[in-house]
């Protein structure tokens, strides 16, 4: 199988590491070779963060480069725009339709771009969701990232059952049910 390249991007603190851990666990469960690359340390403090996940028969490089990603999972709009050029032509973007102003915007030194989703739709297949709103409906706004992952799952070749098994094995015991519900919500949204 040709190596699949997935990127998970967002703002430090949004839970990109949990999402990549679920995806990583799943690729192993399915018998693939896999490499993940994460960001720790200073950049995590509210900065732009990116995680690369690559799986296939044999994976060398642990990073995804410009023009190579199959799926971009973005937990924030501006971050979707920042990394969109990593996608292949017609690649898939799943974007949480949330706006978090970066400091240059907060202090008035820069402007948060308008019409991000419309811009992205010109070149990519975009699936947007107000995942925080959906997560609040489930009773816990913190599982929003698993809802986004659920949507992205439609664009990867694993079964719903495999996803749910791996979520059960990955997330803390007390949160298994709500995370599974969150995944299913996303999986059946579009």
The contact set with another protein (CB under 8 A) reads: 11-13, 24-25, 28, 33-48, 59-63, 65-67, 78-79, 81-85, 100-113, 119, 132, 141
Report the C-alpha gap between 78 and 100 in whole angstroms.
8
> How near is the Cβ of 188 to another protein at its closest, in Å?
25
> How near is the Cβ of 139 to another protein at its closest, in Å?
15
Please compute Rg for the chain using Cα positions.
16
- Please say which residue, 111 or 174, places its beta carbon nearer to another protein: 111
- Please say which residue, 91 or 184, places its beta carbon nearer to another protein: 91
> How near is the Cβ of 108 to another protein at its closest, in Å?
8
Taking alpha carbons only, the member of 95, 13, 7 closest to residue 48 is 13
What tokens appear for 179 in the block?
A: 């995370």
Report the C-alpha gap between 146 and 137 in whole angstroms.
14
> How near is the Cβ of 18 to another protein at its closest, in Å?
14
Cβ atoms 25, 165 nearer than 8 A: no
């Amino acid at each position: 199988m040709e190596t699949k390249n997935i990127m998970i991007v967002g703002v430090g603190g949004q839970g990109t590491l949990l999402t990549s851990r679920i995806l990583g666990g799943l690729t192993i469960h399915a018998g693939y070779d896999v490499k993940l690359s994460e960001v720790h340390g200073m950049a995590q403090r509210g900065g732009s963060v990116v995680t690369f996940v690559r799986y296939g028969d044999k994976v060398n490089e642990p990073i995804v480069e410009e023009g190579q990603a199959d799926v971009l999972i973005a937990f924030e709009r501006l971050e979707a725009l920042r990394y969109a050029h990593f996608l292949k032509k017609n690649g898939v973007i799943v974007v949480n339709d949330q706006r978090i102003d970066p400091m240059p915007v907060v202090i008035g030194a820069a402007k948060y771009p308008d019409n991000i989703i419309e811009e992205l739709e010109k070149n990519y297949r975009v699936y947007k969701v107000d995942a925080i709103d959906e997560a609040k409906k489930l009773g816990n706004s913190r599982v929003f990232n698993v809802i986004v992952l659920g949507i992205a799952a439609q664009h990867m070749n694993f079964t719903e059952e495999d996803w749910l098994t791996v979520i059960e094995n990955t997330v803390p015991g007390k949160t298994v049910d709500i995370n599974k519900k969150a995944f299913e919500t996303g999986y059946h949204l579009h």
